[in-house]
Amino acid sequence: MPRTKKQYDEIKKKKRAIILQAALEVFAEKSFLGTSVSSIAKKAGVSKGLLYSYFESKDDLLKKIIFEGVDEFITAFDINKDGVLTQEEFIYFVEETFVLLEKDTHFWKLYFSIIVQPAVMALVQDKFLEILTPLLKILIEYYQNRGVKNPIAHARLLGAVLDGVFFNYIIDPVGFPIDDIKKLIIEKIV
């Protein structure tokens, strides 16, 4: 019996996910610049031709991985999407961010490798700023509404703290006191 369009669409969706996961793992292990399309195809168990039928290039793969990961990250921010961050929403965001960290360390390894390589960061920087600038604005307004003296510095501090926490967790996931750190962030920064 021939497959239906729905079955084909499901197969394509699964194959795309397999390729993205393989690329994420290889990029995180070898770096973006140190990864070949052949190594991604091999890891995914597909031919290079099939990989190219899903993605235009290695750059395209990187962008899809990063932007899908960032989208997952920001969905936990300002849950009701009203442009105003409440303390409850902020706490939820911090908690969910830690869930994402523990769930997908490959993504965060890739994230850090990208931000320290200017040539690679250039591939995603404009879209990063487009996505993250409105979130930063909401965060600044949160601190303004709380009467914080320098809301921009507080908002930037949160980003720097989260980057540092994530980096340290990636280096030492077993020894890093992640739950205690999360509680401290909620207590001291939120």
Looking at residue 39, its pLDDT comes to 96
Looking at residue 6, its pLDDT comes to 86
Straight-line distance from the first to the last Cα atom of the chain, in angstroms, rounded to the nearest whole number: 57
* Dihedral (CA of 190, 174, 39, 9) sign: negative
Name residue, tokens 């390894």.
109
Report the CATH fold assignment for 1-55.
Answer: Arc Repressor Mutant, subunit A (1.10.10)
The whole-angstrom separation of Cα 33 and Cα 23 is: 12
Q: What is the DSSP letter of 2?
A: P
pLDDT band, very low/low/confident/very high, at 75 (cuts 50, 70, 90) = confident
What is the Cα gyration radius of the chain?
Answer: 19
Mean pLDDT of the chain: 92
The whole-angstrom separation of Cα 152 and Cα 160 is: 12
- On the question of pLDDT at 182 being above 80, the answer is yes
Give 86-130 pLDDT, tens digit per residue. Answer: 999 999 999 999 999 999 899 999 988 888 889 999 999 998 889
Looking at residue 1, its pLDDT comes to 74
- On the question of pLDDT at 31 being above 90, the answer is no
Three-class HEC string of 10-23? HHHHHHHHHHHHHH
Percent of the chain with pLDDT over 90: 70
pLDDT band, very low/low/confident/very high, at 69 (cuts 50, 70, 90) = confident
List the domain boundaries for the chain: 1-55, 62-188
pLDDT band, very low/low/confident/very high, at 156 (cuts 50, 70, 90) = very high
The whole-angstrom separation of Cα 91 and Cα 186 is: 6
The whole-angstrom separation of Cα 163 and Cα 111 is: 10
